[in-house]
Amino acid sequence: MFLIEDTIIQAIVKAQTMQVKAILATIIRTEGSTPREIGTQMLVMDTSQTVGTIGGGVAEKLITNKALDLLTSDHDVSAELHHQAINQETQTDSFSVCGATMDVLLEPVQDKPFWQFVQNLQKSVNDAVLVTSLVPPYSRSILDSDGNLLLGQPQQELYSAEKRQDILSIKAAKVIGDRDEKRWFVEPLLKTERLLILGAGHVAKEVAFYAKALNFQVTVIDDRATFALPEFFTSAHSVICSDFTPGIKNYEPNSDTYVVIATRSHPTDAECLKEILNFRTKYVGMLGGTKKISAIVNYLQENGYTSQSLARLKAPIGLDIHAQTPSEIAISILAEIISVKRS
């Protein structure tokens, strides 16, 4: 599942701020065995720098060159669809599948207020979808969860193509409408996903470090002033020294929050889990062996927590890759989080 990524939006806004010309390349159709899916995006700047990838290889290079040609042309640049074949000539390895193709929408990112609005939406708690017409002039619009136009051009014929609720509730990028006439590319706006790490020990440091590259907004909470230090977590958005229960309440976990419980003791782990289960998070995992986890689960059951509520807990945390070091454990945890995120 691919949604419009936070890194792409950040790169667009940064390029516009620095007055760098850029083209957004988006895969809107695939046929055959292609390396990436519909909705995958790459930003190409006139400096030849790129952000993101649409599959690599010579095929991506050809798309990049096409975008650079548009950026350096003498006339005004407008969006266009580019049909790219993927075969032995466009792939560098001998195992590529011949006959695959993909359609890529190449569009200049010139409307700075539009993309700043998208960036602000990602930081909000409101759901929205970004709709792009796939016929010239490839107009864009943003709709809220009720179908109201927030910004951009009205798409008067959009709701006749597919049920309104189906458009507004999509979870992955897709193309709707008649292939030969009116078509739209619809992509849900990906909110900034948050990672809450409870505990500031060795594993927590490694989880925070690797999570930055995965575009999580990381917050660390620990009740020990000598551990909850920003200099120990340079990749974290915030490091908070607080007792765990009030710290969690003030943080207000939500449906875009992933939680890793890795405190110093059984009692504080139990305290954190007890409080976290009061919130509807996307993921909650707890570090520890089966004996410890069983003891904490039994304790919570004795205090009224149902089996259904406790079933949300991923424990022992992480994918079973026989991890031993803090770095390996962190990678196993984030791998499990990715599997939840992409499922």
pLDDT band for position 143 (cuts 50, 70, 90): confident
3-state secondary structure of 231: helix
Could you give the residue ranges of the DSSP H alpha helices within the chain?
6-17, 57-71, 112-122, 158-161, 164-168, 202-212, 244-251, 266-276, 290-302, 307-310, 326-342
d(CA 160, CA 322): 52
Q: What is the pLDDT of residue 2?
A: 41
User: What percentage of the chain carries pLDDT values higher than 90?
Assistant: 51
Sole residue written with tokens 């078509």: 183
Each residue's pLDDT tens digit, 287-333: 999 999 999 999 999 988 888 889 999 999 999 999 999 999 999 99
Q: What is the pLDDT of residue 43?
A: 95
Q: What b/e readout covers 185-222, taking b as 16+ CB neighbours within 10 angstroms? A: bbbbbbbebbbbbbbbbebbbbbbbbbbeeebbbbbbb
Residue 73 neighbours by CB distance under 10 Å: 9
Q: What is the pLDDT of residue 190?
A: 66
pLDDT band for position 149 (cuts 50, 70, 90): confident
Q: Does residue 205 register a pLDDT over 70?
A: yes
Q: What is the pLDDT of residue 91?
A: 46
Largest CA distance in the chain: 73
Q: What is the pLDDT of residue 93?
A: 43
Q: Does residue 260 register a pLDDT over 60?
A: yes
Each residue's pLDDT tens digit, 206-224: 999 999 888 898 999 999 9
d(CA 236, CA 224): 17
pLDDT band for position 99 (cuts 50, 70, 90): low
Determine how β-strand 217-222 pairs with β-strand 194-198.
parallel
Q: Does residue 163 register a pLDDT over 90?
A: no
Each residue's pLDDT tens digit, 34-75: 878 898 899 999 999 998 888 888 888 999 999 999 998 877
d(CA 61, CA 259): 39
Most confident of 1-10, 85-94, 130-139: 130-139
Report yes or no: 138 and 147 within 8 Å, Cβ to Cβ.
no
- The continuous run of DSSP H or E covering 286 comes out as strand 283-286
pLDDT band for position 3 (cuts 50, 70, 90): low
Q: Does residue 1 register a pLDDT over 70?
A: no
Q: What is the pLDDT of residue 97?
A: 47
Write phi, then psi, for 63 (nearest 5 degrees).
-65, -45
Q: What is the pLDDT of residue 160?
A: 65
**Domain architecture of the chain: domains with CATH:** 6-108 (no CATH), 112-188 (no CATH), 194-342 (3.40.50.720)
